[in-house]
Amino acid sequence: MTVLLEAEGLTKTFGSFKAVTSMSFAIQESHCVALLGPNGAGKTTTIRMLAGLLAPTNGRIGFQGVREGGSHCERIGYLPQSPSFYNWMTGYEYTVYAGRLCGLATSEAKAAATKLLERVGLANAAGKKIGSYSGGMKQRLGLAQALIHRPKLLIMDEPVSALDPVGRRDVLSLLRELKQETTVLFSTHVLHDAEALCDDVIIIREGQIALQGGIAAIQDENRKPVIELTVDSDAHSQAWLAGMKARMRREGEASTSSPDSLAALIKHIEISANHARLQVSEVHAARQMLLEELASEKIGLLDMKVGHSSLEDLFMKVVSE
C-alpha cells in the first residue's frame, strides 16, 4: 500500500491553547478517509494545516513525490466548510479562473470547467452570477474548483453540513464516484456518511487522535451484539421499561444472581421514551429471556431488532472516555 500523505507529531498552538497535539497518521493512496470528532475537537485546524493554510507549530507533513521542506499545495484540491466566491462572476468564469490559478492553460481550464460543472450538476447554471446561487449550488461550485486541476488528494472540511437533504444526497453520490479516481480526506461529525463512504477513519478528541485505522477492521474489533426493543405506550409497559435499568442492576448485584441470568447478559442499557437499546454478551440467550419476561409481565411489544453496535456507538464511546 502506497502512502500519499504522512503527518508526524502535528501540533498547533494559538497562544497558550493547544488546538492539535502530536497527531501522527498516514493517508494511503486511493483511499477515502474520514476525520471524525465532536465540535471543537481540532478537525478544521488539522484540515487547514494539511491544506497549507496554517503552518504547524511543530511536526511535519510529508507528501508523495515532494522533497522534504517543499510544498504539496499544488497537488491537493481544497473545499472549506463555507467557501467564498466573487459573486459578480458566473460559475463558469470562476471555475476557469480557478483553473488558471492552478496553472492550467486557458483552453485546458475552459474544457475542464465545462466538464466539471456538468458533473456537479451546475451545467444549467454555469452562465448565472454566483450571487444568485443557493448554498447547495455554491458547495457544488466549490467542489468543481477543488477538482479543476485533477489533484492527487481532495481535502474537504464538512462538505455536506450546510446542505439540504437533496443537496446532501447529490454531493455524497458524487463523492462515491470521486473516491474511485482520487484520494479523498474529509472531516465530518455525521457518522453515517463516514460509514457509507470511507476506507479509513481518524477519530480525534481534544486535539489528539483517540482511534484510527481501517473502518472494517475497527468495526470488527469493536462490534458488540445489540438488541433494540420498542414497547407500547400504555402505563404498564412504560413503567416496566422505565424501571429496567435499575432492576437489571439490582439483579446483577444480587449474590444469588445466576451468571446466565438476563441481568448478567446485559452489559449496557440506554432507554428513551418507549425504546430501549441493550448491549449484550450473548444475543440469542438474551433475546429469549427478554421475550419470556415480556410475555410474563404482559408487556405490549411493538418491535424488536437484533444487530450489532455501529460506528456511531464506537465514536460516542471514544470521544466520551
224-320 CATH fold: Alpha-Beta Plaits (3.30.70)
| Minimum mean pLDDT range among 50-59, 151-160, 217-226 | 217-226
pLDDT tens digits along 254-288: 645 566 688 888 888 888 888 988 888 888 888 99
Q: Which residues contact 36 (CB under 8 A, 6 or more apart)?
A: 43, 187, 188, 189, 191, 194, 201, 202, 203, 204, 315
- Kindly report the number of other CB atoms within 10 A of residue 275's CB atom: 14
Q: What is the mean predicted confidence (pLDDT) over 163-169?
A: 78
Coil, strand or helix at 30: coil
The single-letter code of the amino acid at 172 is L
Please enumerate in sequence order all residues whose Cβ is within 8 A of that of 101, keeping only pairs 6 or more positions apart, or say none. none
So what's the pLDDT on residue 308? Answer: 76
Tell me what pLDDT residue 182 has: 93
Task: Answer whether residue 241 shows pLDDT above 90.
Answer: no
Of the chain, the percentage scoring pLDDT greater than 70 comes to 96
pLDDT in tens, 67-76: 887 889 899 9
β-strands 3-14, 225-231: how paired? unpaired
The per-residue pLDDT for range 83-118, each reduced to its tens digit, is 899 999 999 999 999 999 999 999 999 999 999 999
Task: Provide the β-strand partners of residue 305.
Answer: 228
Per-residue pLDDT, 320:
67
Q: What's the pLDDT score for residue 81?
A: 86
pLDDT of residue 14: 94
Residue 39's Cβ-count burial label (10 Å; 0-12, 13-18, 19+) is exposed
CATH of domain 3-221: 3.40.50.300
- Name the residue ranges covered by the structural domains of the chain: 3-221, 224-320
